[in-house]
Amino acid sequence: MSTATITAPIGKTGADEGRIGLRGNLRHIGALVRRNLVQIKNDPETLFDVLLMPIIFILLFVYVFGGAIAGKGNQQEYVQYLVPGMMAMMGMNVAMAVGTGVNEDFRKGVMDRFRTMPIARSSVLIAKIVVEILRMLLATAILLAMGLLLGLEIRGSLLEFAGSVLLSTVFGAALMWIFILLGLSVKTPQAVQGMAMLVLMPLQFGSSIFAPTTSMPGWLEGFTKVNPLSNLADAARALINGQGAVAHPALITLGWTVVITAVTMPLAVRKFRSKT
């Protein structure tokens, strides 16, 4: 490969991607995934959030709020309600880290180097998504392990259980595109975190993740019905518990997944190409 090809002008992104082809794109994604995993290996502290966050949250809500929400002595039933809902929360919290990481890579000049290389621009962002999905699955596994220690029962079939994890994963992957776009649009990682929290807090607590919505005011209960996190939590809960309506909340969750990805993925790739 010639030096001229390696230092191809940034402005030729569209043509470059067209010439690379599917096999080349997959090869580039694989190489970038390995690069990101090596970074995590060299800096294991970046895993602290996915290792500790599920443990802290489940203990906090079960033992501090569980008695008040489910009644004293009913913590085990609350675990049965809470853990499937928290699977929805894991994806959103991990997704926030993607935007922060992309923003930091631009500030350090890493992304500028990638954009001078003859690789598909989308492969850089897709590799980020793949690695964060792995981190999200790790966080989900720790959450479920803690849930089992606290008395969680997988009452549905193995297929239903796998479906709950898959549904949470694909929705979390869609959310990552939102935060990548945010990370490419603001100037600092602190701004990414601040703006993300403004979105995260109302969506998480204005949902059925932590408590049933029947006791909420009418206007807030109406919001929870259209909140995608509520639908994801309800679907995962029905699948793990082996009872309750699954089709309606699952279809709404998948609908949100498709819409979010279709809208934000092209915008994020375009922003990545044009960002200076």
Domain definitions of the chain by residue range: 19-274
Q: Quick one: average pLDDT of 46-64?
A: 87
The rounded distance, in Å, linking the Cα atoms of 206 and 156 is 27
- With contact defined as beta carbons under 8 Å apart, do 100 and 189 qualify? yes
Q: What is the pLDDT of residue 93?
A: 81
CA-based torsion, 211, 214, 220, 225: positive or negative: positive
**Residue 123 structure tokens:** 């492969």
Rounded CA gap, 271 and 262, in Å?
A: 15
What share of the chain has pLDDT > 90, as a percent?
36
> What are residue 155's phi and psi, to 5 degrees?
-85, -20
Instruction: Tell me the two tokens of residue 134.
Output: 């792995």
**pLDDT at 154 (0 to 100):** 93
Q: Nearest CA to 164 among 249, 75, 96?
A: 249
- The string of pLDDT tens digits covering residues 61-88 is 898 888 777 777 677 888 999 999 998 8
For 62, the token pair is 């079960």
Task: Kindly calculate the radius of gyration of the chain based on its CA atoms and give it in whole angstroms.
Answer: 20
Instruction: Write the pLDDT tens digit of every residue in 110-159.
Output: 776 776 776 777 788 888 899 999 999 999 999 999 999 999 999 999 99
139 class by beta-carbon count within 10 Å (0-12 exposed, 13-18 middle, 19+ buried): buried
Q: Which residues contact 66 (CB under 8 A, 6 or more apart)?
A: 74, 75, 78, 79, 82
Local structure of residue 189 (DSSP, 8 states): H
* Across 197-225, average pLDDT: 86
How many residues would you count in the chain? 276
- Alpha-carbon distance of 106 to 241, in angstroms, equals 44
